[in-house]
Structure 1
Amino acid sequence: MTEPVRLSKRMSELGLCSRREADEWIERGWVRVDGIIVSELGSKVLPHQRITVERQAAAQQAKRVTVLINKPVGYVSGQAEDGYKPAVTLITADTRWKEDRAPTEFHPSQLRSLVPAGRLDIDSVGLLVLTQDGRIAKQLIGDDTSIEKEYLVRVQYSKPGRLPDADLKRLNHGLSLDGKKLLPAKVRWLNDDQLSFVLREGKKRQIRRMCEAVGLKVLGLKRVRIGRVMLGDLPPGQWRYLRPDEQF
């Protein structure tokens, strides 16, 4: 017999919302199980039971914004640390990209519950996603995500000559970090000192540690793509909204 699971967990598994959103909707009486409103937190359901949400929940979710920033060096992705500012402090009316064509109007209330969906190191630059939408966060950083992230990486080889082809193959599929084998990557030379990395995971300082393992020193790292969403011409330190027609 299948074990019951928490309603909020099941809603997240179905891609309806994040667990936090689910708990909020349950408390507000916006969730039905087999047509009956369930408003008690911690309620459990069986996998075959039908879960629906009221229109108010969908309307609230539609108002949630997702922001794309071209993060410069010196900003942390999440909470402030060691005196460094978080990337969310870059989001003001003045720093919105003038060419942003999204119809959304900026309001400071959008900064509430705006969290990074993935991270960029303090000394890395490029595309960073901040979102209020639990579905997007789960899509980008959930355990089962398969969304590619592409980086341009400027490197310096610590030995004479060029990186051997065998080591390039190891970067593609053959390295382990912290005792765990990495997922296959797509790594190729763009020119004499720049590599393209395409990853489907994001361990802490992963690219820098991968490069160290084959004798490469990273001089610069820039994320240029997450799934189908490109950094494009977004200037450093500026931001824009994810448009309704864009999907990762």
Structure 2
Amino acid sequence: MNNEDNTIRLAKRVAEMVPCSRREAEIYIEGAYVTVDGEVVEEPGARVAPHQHVVLAPDATLLEIAPVTILLNKPAGADPLACLSPDARSADAKRTRFLSRHVRNLTACLPLENEASGLFVFTQDFRVARKLVDEGALVEQELIVDVDGAIADNGLAQLNQGNGKVSWQNERRLRFAVRPPKPSLISKLCADVGLKATAIKRQRIGRISMAGLQPGEWRYLQGYERF
């Protein structure tokens, strides 16, 4: 139905213009193939007036938009979701067309404490969510932990009693390669052996590392990559 100002939904305008079904028009719009007065609009419900210039890109496709998984190098203290701006994509991620729907309906997998940094995963893919959320306790995580203090006698052996391996990288840095515990428990484990964890960075989840991502950068998980 037309409004008093004579505007209509963009999906209706595209459906009449192509012509195509209303659902097909929505797919074109959500895929960022439609511009209004030269600007990409990704909302099928956006209102357009008769005088506005609506164009469907010549390479527009009706292929459904695949769910994405996003890998973020989260800075300490940062809100992970707030980091997912288009400008924060890595150079590799910019080879994939960014859609606003890529940062909607995301599941945060294996969250980090606010003051921890490193690899953070968001996904729209139920298969990734099942792997990292439902079966997350079975996936190894690698964390680098900066510490202060003197470790207790047999402290390293105590840290290695869990389901994983802990080793020194240098005199002030430990490497944890563990399944459980969660990163939120690392500080407590360190405290139990006389150490204070001053910084925690997650380097890897399963087979996926954050190699190449600068703090605050993110990229898409590629089709060939598996956790």
TM-score by structure 2 length? 0.67
Is residue 149–residue 225 contact of structure 1 (8 Å, CA) maintained in 2?
yes
Match of 2:170 in 1: 191
Which ranges in structure 1 are unaligned for 5 or more consecutive residues? Answer: 1-58, 76-85, 174-182
Match of 1:38 in 2: none
* Superposition pairs of residues 192-231 of structure 1, within 5 angstroms: 192-203=171-182, 205-231=184-210
- Residues 1:96 and 2:86 aligned together: no
Is residue 139–residue 145 contact of structure 1 (8 Å, CA) maintained in 2?
no
Which ranges in structure 2 are unaligned for 5 or more consecutive residues? Answer: 1-62
Q: Which runs of 4+ in 1 moved over 3 A?
A: none
Match of 1:153 in 2: 145
Residue-pair matches, total = 165
TM superposition shift of 1:104: 3.1
Match of 2:128 in 1: 136
CA distance in 2, matches of 1:148, 1:244: 21
Match of 1:73 in 2: 76
Task: State the one-letter code of the partner of 1:140.
Answer: L
The structure number with the bigger radius of gyration is 2
CA distance in 1, matches of 2:111, 2:222: 21
TM superposition shift of 1:233: 1.8
1:144 and 1:94, CA in 2 relative to 1: closer, same or farther beyond 3 A? Answer: closer
CA distance in 2, matches of 1:204, 1:190: 18
Residue-by-residue CA offset, 1:133-190 (whole Å, 9 max, x unaligned):
1211121122574211000101012x4xx543x21111111xxxxxxxxx42210001
Residue-by-residue CA offset, 1:40-91 (whole Å, 9 max, x unaligned):
xxxxxxxxxxxxxxxxxxx86x70000000000122xxxxxxxxxx311211
Match of 1:63 in 2: 66
Q: What RMSD over aligned residues (CA atoms) do the two structures have, in Å?
A: 2.0
CA distance in 1, matches of 2:171, 2:136: 35
Task: State the one-letter code of the partner of 1:68.
Answer: L
TM superposition shift of 1:245: 1.3
Match of 2:98 in 1: 106
The percentage of counterpart residues that share the same residue type is 36
* Superposition pairs of residues 232-243 of structure 1, within 5 angstroms: 232-243=211-222
CA distance in 1, matches of 2:188, 2:138: 21
TM-score by structure 1 length? 0.62
